[in-house]
Copies of this chain bind each other. A is one copy, B any other.
């Protein structure tokens, strides 16, 4: 009597893996001959790091950035040894040995992480690492002063093989922000101190600031998953996620009917409501209350009242009743209304819409099957 999980699921999250590959190729072509890595931290921005990384590896991507050691261990198991897995957070004190034994490359962000990695390497073999220098964000990375003091010494060491010199832009989504040029100039000066080490400054938005931001390696994340790397301009990236939520109930209501928690919406006229099985526990954020919308049968329908934990209510008065019926779906994310549009309604950025996507959706990965691994 079992039915297909997709047929009983409260929502279906369709992930266009071939589209992620197409987005990576688009960026790789744009920056060529500069190398193009992929950022798959936060479980591939919520979409599944292993699936995404395997597809990109098959397409030729060689370097994969994650945030934590646990993420790296998962990815290391999914990828062949010829692909590099790099941990942006670097080693937590005491975890250096685990990085080395798992063949994971740390980004070293402060003198303590450098010392830990050097001590592990002294006891085993020369080990690879990337060095992160902060050029104006005060988040992670050596200070400019620490870099100035340490760099000659670092370059003399035989224990650490420097595979990259990194920094990160604070304002790359605002092309005219003066900090972009300042960070670029500082980074250009730094790299002169570590000749022969590949330099990397740009993530998704940074790629679109121009070729002088590309250096030797770019590290796109968000753009791979469809987030617009040029806010305010047409999005050159393919939309990757399509999300639809199951209609549980259709209800005809009279004018004056309050809708949802707090009775914050009151029907001005009679209408027809659809209650769908997605709420803020599914990442359909509560800040979308009274602002979000969905799509059904080509008709855009407004979300009414507050988003509940597991439910949301839409006004489907304008929709075809043969489509707006229990068991049917309302599209929450798609080509028409992508992660950036939802983010604008939720008062956040597309990145958070992606990473918030919940675990109760049935996930369909499209285009992952046709990619064969290469090394």
Nearest CB of B to A46, in Å: 7
Of residues 242 to 288 in A, which have CB atoms within 8 Å of B's CB atoms? Answer: 246, 248-251, 253, 257-263, 273, 275, 277, 280-281, 285-287
- Closest partner residue, chain B, to A354 (CB atom): B281
Does A158 count as interface, using CB distance less than 8 angstroms? no
Cross-chain contact A138 with B251 (CB below 8 angstroms): yes
* B-contacting 9-mer, from A53-61, A97-105, A186-194, A207-215: A97-105
Q: Does A42 sit within 8 A of B, measured CB to CB?
A: yes
Out of B89, B100, B360, which one reaches A71, CB within 8 Å?
B360
Bound together, the chains give a CA A308 to CA B2 distance in angstroms of: 42
Q: How far is the CA of A80 from the CA of B281 in the complex (A)?
A: 27
Q: Does A51 contact B (CB under 8 A)?
A: no
Interface 1/0 per residue, A58-91 and B, CB below 8 Å: 0000000001111100000000000000001110
Q: Are A170 and B262 in contact (CB under 8 A)?
A: yes
Copies per complex of this chain: 2
Which bucket holds chain A's interface residue count? Answer: 35 or more
The residues in A between 314 and 333 inclusive whose CB is less than 8 angstroms from any CB of B are 326-327
Bound: A140/B249 CA distance, A = 7
Are B313 and A3 touching (Cβ within 8 A)? no
Enumerate chain B residues within 8 angstroms of A349, measured Cβ to Cβ. Answer: 286
> Cβ of A250: which chain B residues have Cβ within 8 Å of it?
110
Contact assessment for B259 and A137 in the assembled complex, using a CB-CB cutoff below 8 Å: yes
> Which residues of the other chain, B, contact A90 by a CB distance below 8 angstroms?
248
The chain B residue sitting closest to A308, CB to CB, is: B139
Nearest CB of B to A231, in Å? 12
Known A5-B70, A89-B277, A92-B7; judge A258-B179 contact (CB<8 A).
yes
CA distance A263 to B182 in the complex (A): 13
A258, B98: Cβ atoms under 8 Å? no
- Asked if residues A257 and B327 are in contact (CB atoms below 8 Å), the reply is no
Task: Tell me the bound Cα distance from A308 to B348 in angstroms.
Answer: 12
Chain A, residues 101-113, CB within 8 Å of chain B (1/0): the string is: 1000000011011
A251 & B143 in contact (Cβ 8 Å cutoff): yes
A154 within 8 A of B: no
Q: Are the CB atoms of A8 and B98 closer together than 8 Å?
A: yes
Taken together as a complex, chains A and B put the C-alpha atoms of A46 and B94 apart, in Å, by 30
A226 located at the interface, meaning its Cβ lies under 8 Å from any Cβ of chain B in the complex: no
A92: B residues at CB distance < 8 A:
7-10, 246, 248, 277, 326-327
Check if B138 sits within 8 Å of A352, measured CB to CB: no
Task: Give the distance to chain B from A147, nearest Cβ to Cβ, in Å.
Answer: 13
**Do A1 and B97 touch (CB < 8 A)?**
yes
- With A248-B89, A261-B171 already in contact, the answer to whether A348 and B286 are too (CB < 8 A) is yes
- A359 at the A/B interface (Cβ < 8 Å)? yes
Asked whether A50 is an interface residue with its Cβ less than 8 Å from the other chain, the reply is no
> Is residue A95 within 8 Å, beta carbon to beta carbon, of the partner chain?
yes
Q: A327 touches which one: B68, B70, B94 (CB < 8 A)?
A: B94
Q: Which residues of B contact A9 (CB under 8 A)?
A: 68, 70, 92
- Whether B313 lies near A347 (C-beta < 8 A) is no
8 closest residue pairs by CB, A with B: A1-B97, A42-B281, A93-B327, A281-B355, A67-B310, A8-B95, A138-B259, A110-B249
Listed by A's residue number, 19 A-B pairs whose Cβ atoms lie within 8 Å are A1-B97, A1-B98, A7-B94, A7-B95, A8-B70, A8-B94, A10-B92, A41-B310, A67-B281, A110-B250, A136-B263, A138-B257, A138-B259, A139-B311, A280-B348, A280-B355, A287-B347, A309-B355, A356-B356
